[in-house]
Structure formats: structure tokens, C-alpha cells
A and B are shown apart, each in its own frame.
Chain A
């Protein structure tokens, strides 16, 4: 099979215009069988999957995802893949890590896999986060599964000496996933939870305003909560802070042609449909209408 470097051919899907925006270059995609190294529970809902990976798969960038063929958890079969964003990239060990929440048949099927099992993945897919060199301090805001998506960009920022404030949101303290991961990169961690009311919109807004005042917010990154995204978007607009959001949508192909995964965005007052799989999953926070 010849795999070639390839730039996406199709253009963003702009209502009422055939104007073509330019895409960043993409990595080559591969359908491969990886081997499960570990697949352990981190709490009663989330599992941490570690698989071996080919050099192409290891070229994955923060914010990109893989389309995973999950085994069936029952007597039936599964007919769609399940998108999972990259949680950690270990180039030295040649391993990829995912952090996923067991919600339905696909993720429960994935949970049945153990060390040595073969897992078919397609990727890396999509456009990931970008980290501009002029940013000295960034704020990442994640909730639930969105925390997984925020980890690699925080790691990259840490490696580049960019200051990271990680606002981690969850129902209660036991769901504050990957706290250690954010701590390890030296991020300032601000946990907010539902049980003590700290995850309320007003409180998160106050935290963000304080960070802006302190000059700790050159850029915003978020995933996992519509409520908190709206706050970030509003403050981003008020203070002219650039922001990026990682979105989710049901997918079929994950590669671009089927148009199953569209979401509505607003660009210059015009409604625009974009495919989460190839035009995202990371989008400009000001253009997104909802998580």
C-alpha cells in the first residue's frame, strides 16, 4: 500500500459561499492493529487504555483523535467505530494512551480488552490544537472526558516552558481525572466540583477573570462542558483572548466524505456547517455555538 503525504482536498463548508479557506497540512492516516499493553480502571466509570503504536500513529498531535474499532460487549456486533482523542503520546516507548468513559456498548466493549489483545485503530485524524509561540501563559478548562483531551496540549505547553493553569471540573473529587498528569507538567491546578458548588458558572467566571487580571491567560483551551465553554467564549470575546475548543459529534467515516459529523458554527454572522472529523475536532472558540 502506498501512503502519501496528502493535504485535504475539500474545503470548509461555508453557507452561501464557495470561498475556500486553507487547511494546515495533515499527517498521513493509517488503519492498524495495535496491541493492548494495559486497560485499567481509574475510577468506577473511566478506563485508561495503553496500546503499542506505529511511527505514523505516534506522529499524532494534541487534540487529534483515533477512530477505534471496539469489540462488542455482548452477543451482537458493533458497526461504527468510536472516536477517542489522544490522552498521552509516549514516543520513547512507542505507545499511545487513551482515557475513556464507559457510557454505551462501544466503550463497554473497549473495556473488555486486556493486555495482548489486538485493537484496530484508524488515525491520527483531524486538526489538533495550535500553540502559538507568543503565548507565555495558557488556561485549559476541561470537564469529564474533556480532561483527557486537554492533557496532551498542556503537556506540550509545559515542555515549551509555557505556563499552564488547568481548571479541572467534575461531579466530585473522585472524577477529577489526571490531576497528577497536570501536576507533573507543573500546571497550576484549580479543581472545581459540583458537590461543593465550585464548578458553578459564576465561580468559574470569577476564576477566569482573576487569571486574566494576573496576565495568566494569553489563550484559552476547552473541552467537555457546554456551560463552561460559554463562559470562556464570552470572556474571550470581552478581553480579545484567542481560544480553541475540541468538539464531539457522532461519526461514521472519520475521514471526511460522509458528512455525518457536522456541527453548526458562526463565522462573520453567517451560519456555517463544518465536519468535526476533518475540519476539527478543534475549532475557534468564537466560531463555536455550543459544545
Chain B
């Protein structure tokens, strides 16, 4: 039987399937056995209470959804006092997710959240409805380098930088995060998008614009995971539009060491468990011994870039 375990730096996960931040909480334990997940990724927290954006906060679009939740949070202290012990009733490693509006607070948040029981810190530097210098630091390489370096300087926990697909040059941002000491890169957050109701002439979201996620974005994020994996040597976590086991395999071939799953948890709350089962069947059927061997296994080295030469190879 296939070994589904994967490594993200020093952290070993029982399998590559994790929920994406904001799509998951221990409330899912009512529907699925969350101990089967590779890791648990908590919703992003900020230092202080945030109410979030006006409603409607989500709208259905073709092949996915857009959302403008606006990072509501009960704050860091609540996370440490209530949510952390709640998560620790379960066995998978816990990934805490943090956000802040300025660099000083980001650094302090990383320090304060480095509590026992937190196995890795995902820094959400990519909330799509924020400004480059005010929360969506991952739009630019220089901001990203600054935040990651500051976070790195105050914590020994593994640091995962969650990148933005809205960045112009995402590979440069990825390289900046790697240079500044990130242990892994989560690729990616949602794509800034919009929907207008043609009956009412009103934007479908209370915040007017919001982040696009779900199956529609998978090819876009796939390309980003692929290009980033070619450029960096730290692990990449694929996140965007996964709805079945083949999608996970595809992300791993493109370069991902593990994946995070968001939208599909809403459509099918049991999806992550089916995906883990299907991954095992998929590998067993093909005699794959270690799923980790699929990372960066895309066969693209020998592909001719010249169309006439490709023709001669029968491609």
C-alpha cells in the first residue's frame, strides 16, 4: 500500500490533504473524522477583534464562488485561550494563520502565536481586498521580503508564506519569501474578482469586490505552482480549485508537496476524506509506493520548444 506521508520541511504530514484557511474549523468534526487530515489549518487571526465586511459576503459564480468575508476574527487572545486547545483535541499538526495591517504588528503576531501546540505558522500576507502595504503584502516582492524576514527573526516555528495570485510577478515574490527565510510557500490565496447582478445593477458582494475560488481558478494556480516550483527549493503547497484526487495529483506533478482545499468543503463537507481515500486507490492502482515521489514529477524536461523539432518527435 502507498505511503501517503509527505514532508513540509521538518514537519511530516500523514497525507498531503489539508483544509485551506477560512474554509475549515473543528465544526467539521461533526461530519468527518478530522483526525484523518494531513494537518489542520486554522482561520486567519489578527491581534484584535474584527467584524469583517458587510453582507452579502459570498456569491456563486460559474465553477466556483467569490467571497468578501473580510477576515473577521475574535482576536489573538481568543485563539490562544479557546481555539488552540480546541484544535489540540485532534491529532493532526496545527497550522495557525495570522494577518496584520503593518509590518511591526505582523512581527509581534508571529512571536505571540508561537505557542506550544502550534506546529507551523501560515502568514496570510495575501488577503485580496487589502492594499499592498496594508495586509496584501504579497502583491510585491519587497513587502514580502520585509514581512517574512521580520517573522523569521522572532519564531522557530516553520513559517509558510501564503502568496497572492494577484501579484504581477509571483515568481519574484516567491523568491523573495524564500530568501527571507520562509520554510514553505502556500500558492495561493483567492483571485480578486467581481460579480454584478444585472437585475438590480448592484455588485453581488457587500464589499463590491472579493476573492475568487473554486474549480475555475485551478489552471491559473496550477501554472503558478509549476513556475514557482521551478524557481525555489523550499516546499510548495498547492491551493486553488481542488475538487478531487486527480486535482491533488496534478498539483503534486506541478511541484506541490501537499495541498490545501477550500471551496469544495462547502459543496461536499465529506470531500477531503473521499479525496484521501481516492489518492490511496489512485497510487495503489499504479503501483506508486510513495506519494511524495509525485512532487515535481511532471514530465516536461524533454519537451521540444521548437514546433518543427516537436513534430519530428511525433509531438
Chain A residues in contact with chain B, CB under 8 A?
1-4, 6, 8-11, 13, 15-16, 18, 20, 26, 28-31, 69, 76-81, 120, 122, 249-250, 252-263, 273, 278
Among A9, A249, A258, chain B packs the most CB atoms within 10 A around the CB of: A258
> In the complex, are the beta carbons of B60 and A79 less than 8 A apart?
yes
A252 to B190, CA, bound (A): 16
> In the complex, are the beta carbons of B64 and A79 less than 8 A apart?
yes
Contact partners of B78 in chain A: CB under 8 A: 18
For the residues of A in contact with B, the DSSP-based class is loop
A258 to B262, CA, bound (A): 10
Among A3, A20, A255, A256, chain B packs the most CB atoms within 10 A around the CB of: A255
**B110 vs chain A, min Cβ distance (A):** 21
Contact partners of A79 in chain B: CB under 8 A: 60-65, 214, 263, 267
> In the complex, are the beta carbons of B83 and A10 less than 8 A apart?
yes
Contact partners of A29 in chain B: CB under 8 A: 30-31, 269
Interface-lining segment among B8-16, B47-55, B251-259: B47-55
Closest B residue to A125 by CB, please name it.
B30
> In the complex, are the beta carbons of A257 and B269 less than 8 A apart?
no
A224 to B201, CA, bound (A): 25
Is residue B74 within 8 Å, beta carbon to beta carbon, of the partner chain?
Answer: yes
> In the complex, are the beta carbons of B83 and A122 less than 8 A apart?
no
What is the 8 Å Cβ interface bit string for chain B, positions 263-279, against chain A (1 contact, 0 not)? 10111111001000000
Contact partners of A28 in chain B: CB under 8 A: 30
> In the complex, are the beta carbons of B57 and A260 less than 8 A apart?
yes
Whether A257 touches B43, Cβ cut-off 8 Å, given contacts A252-B266, A262-B55, is yes
A264 to B292, CA, bound (A): 46
A30 to B22, CA, bound (A): 21
Complex partner residue of A20 from B22, B31, B60, B82, CB under 8 angstroms: B82
- Interchain Cβ contacts within 8 Å, total number: 129
Complex partner residue of B266 from A16, A76, A253, CB under 8 angstroms: A253
> In the complex, are the beta carbons of B51 and A273 less than 8 A apart?
yes
Chain B residues in contact with chain A, CB under 8 A?
22-33, 43, 49, 51-52, 55-65, 67, 69, 72, 74-75, 77-78, 81-83, 86, 214, 263, 265-270, 273
Closest A residue to B214 by CB, please name it.
A79
> In the complex, are the beta carbons of B30 and A69 less than 8 A apart?
no
Contact partners of A278 in chain B: CB under 8 A: 27
Whether A259 touches B30, Cβ cut-off 8 Å, given contacts A9-B25, A77-B63, A80-B65, is no
**B68 vs chain A, min Cβ distance (A):** 10
Closest A residue to B19 by CB, please name it.
A257
> In the complex, are the beta carbons of B62 and A80 less than 8 A apart?
no
Can you add 17 more A-B contacts, CB < 8 Å, to A258-B69, A259-B52?
A2-B33, A6-B29, A10-B25, A11-B74, A18-B75, A20-B82, A28-B30, A31-B269, A31-B270, A78-B60, A79-B61, A79-B63, A79-B267, A80-B60, A81-B266, A253-B266, A255-B28
**B193 vs chain A, min Cβ distance (A):** 14
A171 to B211, CA, bound (A): 39
A250 to B61, CA, bound (A): 14
> In the complex, are the beta carbons of A259 and B72 less than 8 A apart?
yes
Contact partners of A8 in chain B: CB under 8 A: 27
Q: 7 shortest A-B CB distances, which residue pairs?
A: A256-B27, A257-B25, A260-B58, A29-B30, A9-B86, A9-B26, A2-B33
> In the complex, are the beta carbons of A13 and B266 less than 8 A apart?
no
A8 to B86, CA, bound (A): 10
**A196 vs chain B, min Cβ distance (A):** 31
A178 to B263, CA, bound (A): 37
**A132 vs chain B, min Cβ distance (A):** 26
Among A4, A29, A79, A255, chain B packs the most CB atoms within 10 A around the CB of: A79
A20 to B78, CA, bound (A): 10
A187 to B28, CA, bound (A): 39
Complex partner residue of A257 from B22, B58, B267, CB under 8 angstroms: B22
